[in-house]
């Protein structure tokens, strides 16, 4: 079974641009979560989607948004990029269940110049 | 709000030596606790988790962790470290009380402990 796939692997953008990152969960997983990882702030929860609905959101500005499609694939979008948005963005998928664990992708490394 | 503290930023051990990585959490109710490992350029891999029951939890790759409610700790241990264990280790807490809404996926992570293994 294929793991969580995130594309692209690396991305370079300039300030003010917008970016879209993609995540394909493990087959059968309907929950997709996004995390931002930076050296300064560590790992921080962005949001979680389940059945095309955002179920939970972390403490990030409205420039960060996401969506989930009917096939459970998810995208996250960051508009008006700032230098501080440079980070590794990790996607995780899981089954729906009390004890189900998160499976993480390898991430998208975003650099904002 | 929950929080996780990993007091050791960097630990160096010799191959074959024992290992203990510290984790302290703060959460008002019953926590769900996790240890993840991250190799350079990779995502996170779950080593083990504690939801309830036996406070000594066995994980993959020979790791174990012990939940101590009185000390609010969930330390990770391994009796004999291998060179391939060199990586960054993250402790995380999930809000058990929010499981119904699926917010168990909203994990709060510690800042990580970088493990170096000497030959």
**pLDDT (tens digit, 9 = 90+) per residue, B46-97?**
999 998 888 999 999 999 999 999 999 999 999 999 999 999 999 999 865 4
- For tokens 């990779």, the residue is B42
Q: Please tell me what DSSP assigns to residue A2.
A: -
pLDDT, residue B40, reads 86
A97 — pLDDT class (breaks 50, 70, 90): low
Distance CA A31, CA B105 (A): 9
8 Å CB contact of A90 and B43 = yes
Which residues from B are below 8 Å from A56, CB to CB?
101-103, 105-106
Burial of residue A50, with CB atoms counted within 10 A of its CB: 0-12 exposed, 13-18 middle, 19 or more buried:
buried
Residue-averaged pLDDT of chain B: 89
8 Å CB contact of B105 and A42 = no
pLDDT, residue A22, reads 98
């Amino acid at each position: 079974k294929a793991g969580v796939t995130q594309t692209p692997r690396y991305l370079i953008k300039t300030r003010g641009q917008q970016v879209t990152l993609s995540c394909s969960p493990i087959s059968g997983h309907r929950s997709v979560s996004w995390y931002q990882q930076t050296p300064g702030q560590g790992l921080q929860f962005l949001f979680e989607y389940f059945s095309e609905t955002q179920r939970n959101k972390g403490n990030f500005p409205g420039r960060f948004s996401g969506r989930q499609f009917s096939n459970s694939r998810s995208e996250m979008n960051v508009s008006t990029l700032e230098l501080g948005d440079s980070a590794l963005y990790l996607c995780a998928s899981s089954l729906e269940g009390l004890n189900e664990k998160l499976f993480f992708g390898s991430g998208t490394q975003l650099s904002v110049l | 709000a929950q929080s996780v503290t990993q007091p050791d930023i960097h630990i160096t051990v010799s191959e074959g030596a024992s290992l203990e990585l510290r984790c302290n959490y703060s959460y008002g109710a019953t926590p769900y606790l996790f240890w993840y490992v991250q190799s350079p350029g990779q995502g996170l891999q779950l080593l083990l988790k504690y939801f309830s029951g036996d406070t000594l939890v066995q994980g993959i790759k020979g790791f174990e962790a012990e939940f101590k409610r009185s000390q609010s700790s969930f330390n990770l241990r391994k009796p004999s470290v291998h060179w391939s264990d060199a990586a960054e280790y993250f402790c995380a807490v999930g809000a058990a009380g929010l499981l119904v809404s699926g917010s168990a996926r909203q994990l709060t992570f510690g800042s990580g402990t970088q493990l170096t293994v000497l030959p």
